[in-house]
Amino acid sequence: MTGSRLRQIGWLVALAACLCLFLALSFQVHAVKSEVLLAERQVIALKRETLMLETEFQARANQRQLAEWNAVEFGYLAPRADQFLEGEMQLAALGAARGPAAPNPIRFARAEVSADGAAPEPRAMVSPVTGRPVTLAAASAPSTADTVAEAFGELLAEASPVRSANARTMMSAEAAE
Q: What is the pLDDT of residues 96-145, one digit of tens each?
A: 777 788 777 666 666 666 777 666 676 777 776 777 877 765 555 555 66
- CA 119, 123, 129: angle at the middle one, nearest 5? 140
Residue 145 DSSP code: H
Distance CA 150, CA 144 (A): 10
pLDDT for position 109: 62
Radius of gyration of the chain (CA): 43
pTM more than 0.75: no
Which segments in the chain show pLDDT lower than 50?
Answer: 164, 167
Handedness of CA 60, 65, 66, 67 (dihedral sign): positive
pLDDT for position 44: 96
Please state, in angstroms and as integers, the Cα–Cα distance from residue 103 to each residue in 8, 69, 95, 99, 129, following that order.
Answer: 104, 45, 15, 9, 9
pLDDT for position 162: 55
Handedness of CA 121, 127, 133, 137 (dihedral sign): negative
Please state, in angstroms and as integers, the Cα–Cα distance from residue 5 to each residue in 8, 10, 17, 18, following that order.
Answer: 5, 9, 18, 20
